[in-house]
Amino acid sequence: MGKKRIIKQSEEELLKAKSGDHIKTEVKVAAAKTSEGRLYIYSSYNNTVITLTDAKGDVLGWASAGSIGFKGAKKSTPFAASKVAEAISFSAKKIGVEKLSVFVKGIGSGRESAIRSLAGKGMDIISIKDITPVPHNGCRPPKARRV
């Protein structure tokens, strides 16, 4: 059968595995470290997506309930939204963003829990604005039926 080789991890690899190993987020490190940013929370009936941008609107990172590992009906829960907010606050601190303007869109159940989780993680929230689209006259009604 032969000898079995045991692969030993270095200390750096072990530290990387311990810090945020279950959180997978896309993070772009900006050339100039920004201290202010915008956070867009989109909460639908099926998922919660949080996008972190700089002041101009260029995307720095994002996370969703599906990308963290929730599947099916669990993606639309407030618990999943709070976990997404924790993941994005982790990446925001890594980039250097401390002050956030939060823009909330959608009618899902994860809106408030995501904001509460962000505040609980120590992020400085400057403003919260609801940008959910609202129809102001509705669709054109069907034409009258002629008998």
Residue 38 is classified by DSSP as: E
pTM of the full predicted structure?
0.74
Q: Which domains does the chain have, with CATH numbers?
A: 37-130 (3.30.420.80)
Please tell me the predicted confidence (pLDDT) of residue 31: 46
Strands of 124-130's sheet in order across = 26-27, 59-64, 48-53, 36-43, 99-105, 124-130
79-133: pLDDT as tens digits: 999 999 999 999 999 999 999 999 999 999 999 999 999 999 999 999 999 999 9
Q: Is the pLDDT of residue 51 over 70?
A: yes
Residue ranges in the chain assigned as alpha helix (H): 11-18, 65-68, 78-95, 111-120
Query: What confidence category does residue 11 fall into, taking pLDDT thresholds of 50, 70 and 90?
Result: low
